Each structure stands twice: as structure tokens, then as C-alpha cells.
Structure 1
Amino acid sequence: MKKVVNPMALSPIPELITTETNTTIKKVQPSKTYKFDFDTGEMKGYIDGIEAVKQYVRKSLSTPRFRYLIYTDQYGSELEDLIGQDVPHELVDAEVPRLIEEAISYDDRIRTVLNFSISRKGDALYATFEVDTVDGRIEQEVKV
């Protein structure tokens, strides 16, 4: 460990900064956000941590990518593009995990998406998967 005096300190008292050599420190931004009630469309209080990640995943997967100018090109999913397409089930089964992973991988709280399970009930397709986050692992389901 190496101690360095900060030459840019605003006070005349020397400030010591501790740095470690050959180490990259990545700060994860706080995840406190408004709690969105998906049933009523209202904001109700605040959430943080794993609950905020769950909300991000659900909101990101239910928002079509490129449709709303308020969101960047990285936000949202392209799952809606699969609806009504005349493609074999095998192709859809391969595309759904890729599209889900692509939609939520931009968030730095998400490490990886794994354990996909795809099932069908009538015309609906359900994808169940796990999301490994910095706060723990969560299970999610999306209906396409």
C-alpha cells in the first residue's frame, strides 16, 4: 500500500490518500429508485438493492427498444418483435434467451443471466431465468 499526499486538496491540511497498486476498484452506483406499481402505473415510495434490480429487469423487458425517445438505445427489449413471426419454435427458443440477456446486460448491477427455461401455454411463451446480481441471485419470468 502506498500513501500519497493529495496536491489538489482544498484545505491547507495535507490529506492522505490510500492507493493500492495493480488493483482496479469499481464503484457500483447506488440503486435507490422510485417503486413502480405495475398494476396501477403509479410511483409508490422508494426501493433499493435487489428489489430495484428486479424492477429494472421487469421494466426493461416490458419496454420495447427504440420506441420511446426518453430511453437510450440500450434500454428495453426486442422480444415484442418475435410476436406474430412465422418462425420455427426452435429458433424462438434460441432467440428468447439472447434477447433477454441483451436487454438487461447494460446494468452494471447484473453479472450474468443463466438457467433459462422456456415453456408454452396456448399462444403464450414463458421464459423463466435467473439473474446473478451484485446483491444476490433472483429468479424472473417473462411472458412473450
Structure 2
Amino acid sequence: MKKTFIILIGLLLIIGVGFMVFSNGNQKQEDPKILSQLEDKGNVNGKREFLFSLTNVGENKAELEFPTWLEYNWSIGDLDNKEIPSGGIITEHLDLNENGNQGRILVLQPNEKIEYRILITKIPKGNYEIAIDSSSGYGSTHSQEFTIE
């Protein structure tokens, strides 16, 4: 009887430890909490400037994987439905990795922010909309209307 009791306690102990290991091993790591923002800085030295930023608002570090050197997807739409000739809009993309065609993995610590500046020049007068999102898949898509006079 004493032997059976010891075996039963041993089995319960093994099952309990196994359950604890199994339940801890299945805990999902928190998905990164990335806040993305688009800000129109207006005209700066004759160029229309936009600031796109990504901020890690989570409690853990966030690993963002960018497949190419251009770390965001963006477009400019003409709200006046006018045809814009090829080369009619010139843009400069600042603050990028520019590691050839290679992407990179960027680690953002909690409350750390990365900013990208987009400068638009040689754009015809009219009403436009810029749309942008991170190519890492985190954050959200932002769009903003603006006018060139």
C-alpha cells in the first residue's frame, strides 16, 4: 500500500511538472505594437515635406522585417483627375537603409521611433492625396489630402 501511494504521488508530480512545461511552452509571444503616423510638414525650401514614422508602443522589443530598401509602400493620387506627365512629379526619399536592393531587419526597443522624410518637388498645381504604410506589415495605412498652389 505504501509503495502504491509513493508511485501515485510520483505520477501526479510528473504529470503536474509536464503540464506546467507544456503550458509555458505554448504561450505566444506578444505581437509587436507599432503605431504609424503621417504628418504633413508643409512647404520646406520649395519642397512639400511629409514625415512618416513608426513607434514601438509595446512593452517588448519589436523586430520589423523589410523586404527591400524602400521600407514603406506609398502612392500619390491626383484628386482633380488630371493626367500627370511622366516625370511630372519628383520625390526624394530620405532616412532609408539604402543597402542596395537588400532589405533589413530593424529592432525597435519600447518607445523607440524611426522616421522617414518624403520630399515632393516639381508637382503641378492641384489637389492630391498621399497614401503610405510600412512594408513590414505593422502599423496601418495612412492617407492625407494636400493642395499645391
State if a TM-score over 0.5 links the two structures: no
Structure showing the higher helix proportion among its residues: 1
Structure with more contact order per residue of length (Cα contacts < 8 Å, sep ≥ 6): 2
Structure with bigger gyration radius: 2
TM-score when normalising by structure 2: 0.29
TM-score when normalising by structure 1: 0.29
Structure showing the higher strand proportion among its residues: 2
